[in-house]
Structure 1
Amino acid sequence: MREDFLHYVWQHQYFDKADLRTTGGEEIQVLRPGQRNADAGPDFLNARLRLGEVEWNGAVEIHLRASDWQRHQHQVDAKYDQVVLHVVYQHDAEVHRTNGSLIAALPLAARLAPDLLGRYEALMQAPPAAALPCAPLLSQVPQLVRILMTERVLLERVEYKADALAELHRHLGQDWEATAYNALAAAFGFQKNSEPLARLAKAVPLSVVRRHRHDQRQLEALLFGQAGMLVENEETTADDYLRDRRQEHEFLQHKYGLGAAALAAHEWNYLRLRPANFPAVRLGQLVGLLHRRPSLFNALLTAQNVAALTEFFAGATAPDYWRTHFRPGRLGKVPALGKSSIDLLITNVVVPLRVAYARHVGEPALVESSVALLGELPAEHNQYTDVYQDLGFEHRTAADSQGLLALHKGYCAPRRCLHCAIGARLVGGNKGGRP
């Protein structure tokens, strides 16, 4: 048994309350179980309880064993002085506040219905390799519960990404254009090269890009030079384009004092990448976007639909050289930025960026319209989403995909079943799990 099971039981009051008493014999009435505390301190805050003749407003702490109180050092932590009831599975010790006063205890081992505990154990006994612990039991869960849970975690995932961009916006001095620039730069790395591209955006800050974005030659020199992709070697010795951009980069690097921030060629990842995803190809596409789209944030914010956003990205083509070279000095026909890549940029940058801005200025309608963009995009298929689709989860749009990925990462993989509406439904049963 895990402690989160007892949290679930207490939150929903799924235990026998007949003649409910503390270990000291005081009658207990639960007037309000309290709210789950996600921060440091007791598990449930603002509980309202009657112990004997006295009504208490305070906190409830939950442990599998009462002795866990000492093991967690709560007896010397003043945050736990507000606890008025210690709810435990097994009562094997008395516990006290920092001033030595005794805390009332409620043991639950004899008050849990066997069928409730059995459903919980059935869920928890799934093998570690199982993608969904509840897979054998899903037929017991109505489709509506699955849909509502997927929608809930979709919003959690978008909020999480928006929070990261809001923090980036704060770090960049409340500059939304700089936020869009840095977010897009990292996103053009498409996971394998997201980290070095994010560092490249810092190595060439938007204040410098703004001065040269109208001049494609200088923009190429700045970004490819700072990326360490203009170095001379056996493949590039006779390449006039690279020689010209290298000379321009040396001048601009000295002018802006950018030398210390430059990346080295070995910092880019090529392992298991198709040539169309090579870092020089993606950087060329980013350069084309920066040159041809002088106002990134405004365009991303005001686009009315996915079609407009797709044209925004697809219409900003890479410079000529980087449409014919996969790597510096190496010829090859390079495809343009593809539809699937654009869909990922909209999903991972545009939607959370718009949501972060909407929250910042207080426009809930913009949050709703931005999340709705995901419903216009096709579903993403990968090893995780396909498992859920095979089990009957709806999977038609990117909104579904994002919800399923959030469900996997936030609930199924870490086995947070009792925090999930699906797992809670299975444990609680059709009547809410009350004994």
Structure 2
Amino acid sequence: MQEDFLHYVWKYKKIDVSKIKTTTGEAISVVSVGEHNLNSGPDFFNAQLKIGKQLWAGNVEIHIKSSDWFLHNHEKDANYDNVILHVVWEHDIDIYRKDNSVIPVLELKHFMSTKALNNYEKLFSKSQKWINCEEDFMSVDDFKVQNWLERLYFERLERKSQNIEQLLKDSKNDWEAVLFKMLSKNFGLKVNGDAFLSMACSFDFSVVRKTQSNSRILEALLFGQSGLLEKPIQDGYYSKLVKDYQFLSQKFKLSNKNVLPIQFFRLRPPNFPTIRLSQLANFYHQNQNSFSKIMEIQSLEAFYDLFSLGTSAFWESHYTFEKVSKPSKKTITKSFVDLLLINTIIPLKFSYAKHHGKSVDDVIVDFIQQIASEKNAIVEKFNALKKTSNSALQSQGLIQLKHYYCDKNKCLKCAIGNSLLNK
């Protein structure tokens, strides 16, 4: 038995409230269950109850056992002086107020339906499962699942917007700098995302503005700050980048001491950091005032056009500085642009609107639903239980669901878990 479940039972009246009584036999009439308190103090504030013939207004505290009151040291905390009802699963000891009167107790185990208990025990059984509800996930109404995933998507956007606000603060309210840092992180993908972000944060964005007219100088900046120009390599282009970076380092007092190491291991050649950094440099070489452009674009195809670019000429015949490869145009794919849209551009649009007190929720829903569902282990496993994800909105919602609800056993705060408990 979890205390969270008892909170759920009380909050949503998952018992026959017309029949509940205190342990001393007084009838309890619930006018209001109160406001659920998720911080310190009693679990529900400002409840209104009629106990016997007396109308009470005050707080409700919930425990598995009455004696948990002392386990949690509530007898020493003045915040609990106004508790009018102690809701417990099992009553094992009386709790007294300062005036020596006993706090009325509702012992829930006498009023809980067998069906509700069975649903709860099934959901939280200790057997090894990928998610608690995997046996019954298929039975949940599609409309309920899709509504919940849309809500989870915006919950995920809210989490991302907190990170963006911190980046904005660190960047002295320069949205162009925030875009550069976020694009850098996402050009690095999962393997090099943090390293690329640390690179982007290692110098002021004004350096990009001052160098972006020259693609080679901009590449020198990104490669040098990433620590990729520190080997003794005999190559003409490499030597020019090293010389350019040495000049930039002196001019702008650059340092890459705090930049995380770049990884090549287990990456397909098109995702090598050398290729992605060249593409990023090429994007900024071709686009000034990128943030304002991105905020103005309204169609998916326009974004595909914006990022329809490749590398500098050197990288058309290389994946690394050391070795020549078969010549090929290494252009950014639509699937890669989709990742940029999901992880950078749409969160930025959402955060920018929120920062200025505007709502673009409907626009964002329309936009994200046009992007194909992501393909990853989480989405595939949910789809194996029940075909759920048809767009990036659903796939992002499923990622949020798995990480912040399923993995944390927060079924009682999940619409799917609630639906199964109410079967």
- Could you tell me the TM-score, scaled by structure 2's length? 0.91
Cross-structure match for 2:158: 159
Please say if residues 189 and 279 of structure 1, whose CA atoms lie closer than 8 Å, have aligned partners that are also in contact: yes
Cross-structure match for 1:351: 346
Q: 2:371 aligns with which of 377, 386, 405?
A: 377
Q: 2:356 aligns with which of 354, 357, 361?
A: 361
Cross-structure match for 1:168: 167
- Change in Cα spacing, 1:214 to 1:97, as seen in structure 2 (3 Å) is farther
Please say if residues 372 and 392 of structure 2, whose CA atoms lie closer than 8 Å, have aligned partners that are also in contact: yes
**Alpha-carbon displacement from aligned partner over 1:149-178 (angstroms, at most 9, x marks no partner):** 222212212222223212322332222111
Cα distance in 1, alignment partners of residues 274 and 97 from structure 2: 62
Aligned residues: 421
* Corresponding residue SS for 2:275: helix
What amino acid is aligned across from residue 176 of structure 2 in structure 1?
E
Per-residue deviation at 1:3?
A: 1.8
* Corresponding residue SS for 1:150: helix
Cross-structure match for 1:39: 39
* Corresponding residue SS for 1:294: coil
Structure 1 unaligned segments of length 5 or more: list them.
430-435
Per-residue deviation at 1:103?
A: 4.1
**Alpha-carbon displacement from aligned partner over 1:129-158 (angstroms, at most 9, x marks no partner):** x22322322454322222222222122122
Per-residue deviation at 1:261?
A: 4.2
For residues 56-75 of structure 1, what are the structure 2 equivalents within 5 Å? 56-75=56-75
Cα distance in 2, alignment partners of residues 322 and 34 from structure 1: 64
What amino acid is aligned across from residue 325 of structure 1 in structure 2?
H
Q: 1:253 aligns with which of 249, 258, 271?
A: 249
* Corresponding residue SS for 2:189: coil
Per-residue deviation at 1:307?
A: 0.9
- Change in Cα spacing, 1:169 to 1:74, as seen in structure 2 (3 Å) is farther
Cross-structure match for 2:297: 303
Cα distance in 1, alignment partners of residues 79 and 211 from structure 2: 55
Please say if residues 29 and 49 of structure 1, whose CA atoms lie closer than 8 Å, have aligned partners that are also in contact: yes
Cross-structure match for 2:177: 178
* Corresponding residue SS for 1:89: strand
Cross-structure match for 1:48: 48
For residues 218-237 of structure 1, what are the structure 2 equivalents within 5 Å? 218-233=217-232, 236=233
Per-residue deviation at 1:126?
A: 6.0
Cα distance in 2, alignment partners of residues 18 and 88 from structure 1: 18
What amino acid is aligned across from residue 414 of structure 1 in structure 2?
K
Cα distance in 1, alignment partners of residues 179 and 103 from structure 2: 53
Per-residue deviation at 1:386?
A: 1.6
Cross-structure match for 1:432: none
What amino acid is aligned across from residue 315 of structure 2 in structure 1?
W
Cα distance in 1, alignment partners of residues 84 and 244 from structure 2: 71
**Alpha-carbon displacement from aligned partner over 1:341-382 (angstroms, at most 9, x marks no partner):** 110110011111101111111222x23212321111111122
Deviates more, 1:10-19 or 1:203-212: 10-19
Per-residue deviation at 1:97?
A: 7.0
* Corresponding residue SS for 1:61: strand
Cα distance in 1, alignment partners of residues 210 and 34 from structure 2: 56
- Change in Cα spacing, 1:245 to 1:121, as seen in structure 2 (3 Å) is same
Deviates more, 1:140-149 or 1:379-388: 140-149
- Change in Cα spacing, 1:255 to 1:389, as seen in structure 2 (3 Å) is same
Please say if residues 146 and 393 of structure 1, whose CA atoms lie closer than 8 Å, have aligned partners that are also in contact: no
Instruction: State yes or no: 1:339 paired with 2:334.
Output: yes
* Corresponding residue SS for 2:106: strand
Instruction: State yes or no: 1:149 paired with 2:142.
Output: no
What amino acid is aligned across from residue 336 of structure 1 in structure 2?
T
Name the % identity: 34
Deviates more, 1:48-57 or 1:136-145: 48-57
* Corresponding residue SS for 1:376: coil
- Change in Cα spacing, 1:62 to 1:209, as seen in structure 2 (3 Å) is same
Per-residue deviation at 1:54?
A: 4.7
What amino acid is aligned across from residue 209 of structure 1 in structure 2?
V
* Corresponding residue SS for 1:329: coil
Structure 2 unaligned segments of length 5 or more: list them.
none
- Change in Cα spacing, 1:426 to 1:280, as seen in structure 2 (3 Å) is same
Instruction: State yes or no: 1:326 paired with 2:319.
Output: yes
Per-residue deviation at 1:47?
A: 2.5
* Corresponding residue SS for 2:382: helix
Cα distance in 2, alignment partners of residues 83 and 290 from structure 1: 61
- Change in Cα spacing, 1:272 to 1:28, as seen in structure 2 (3 Å) is same
* Corresponding residue SS for 2:136: helix
What amino acid is aligned across from residue 328 of structure 1 in structure 2?
F
What amino acid is aligned across from residue 326 of structure 1 in structure 2?
Y
Cα distance in 2, alignment partners of residues 179 and 210 from structure 1: 13
Cα distance in 1, alignment partners of residues 212 and 56 from structure 2: 65
Cα distance in 1, alignment partners of residues 269 and 78 from structure 2: 59
Deviates more, 1:320-329 or 1:108-117: 320-329
Please say if residues 157 and 403 of structure 1, whose CA atoms lie closer than 8 Å, have aligned partners that are also in contact: yes
* Corresponding residue SS for 1:62: strand
Please say if residues 3 and 64 of structure 1, whose CA atoms lie closer than 8 Å, have aligned partners that are also in contact: yes
- Could you tell me the TM-score, scaled by structure 1's length? 0.89
Cross-structure match for 1:395: 389
**Alpha-carbon displacement from aligned partner over 1:13-39 (angstroms, at most 9, x marks no partner):** 112334533345554322111233333
Instruction: State yes or no: 1:213 paired with 2:212.
Output: yes
Cα distance in 1, alignment partners of residues 175 and 22 from structure 2: 56
- Change in Cα spacing, 1:255 to 1:90, as seen in structure 2 (3 Å) is same
**Alpha-carbon displacement from aligned partner over 1:281-309 (angstroms, at most 9, x marks no partner):** 21111111121111121122111111111
Cross-structure match for 1:275: 269
* Corresponding residue SS for 2:17: coil
What amino acid is aligned across from residue 254 of structure 1 in structure 2?
Q
Cα distance in 2, alignment partners of residues 46 and 171 from structure 1: 41
Please say if residues 172 and 178 of structure 1, whose CA atoms lie closer than 8 Å, have aligned partners that are also in contact: yes
Cα distance in 1, alignment partners of residues 313 and 61 from structure 2: 65
Cross-structure match for 1:424: 418
Cross-structure match for 1:433: none
Cross-structure match for 2:281: 287
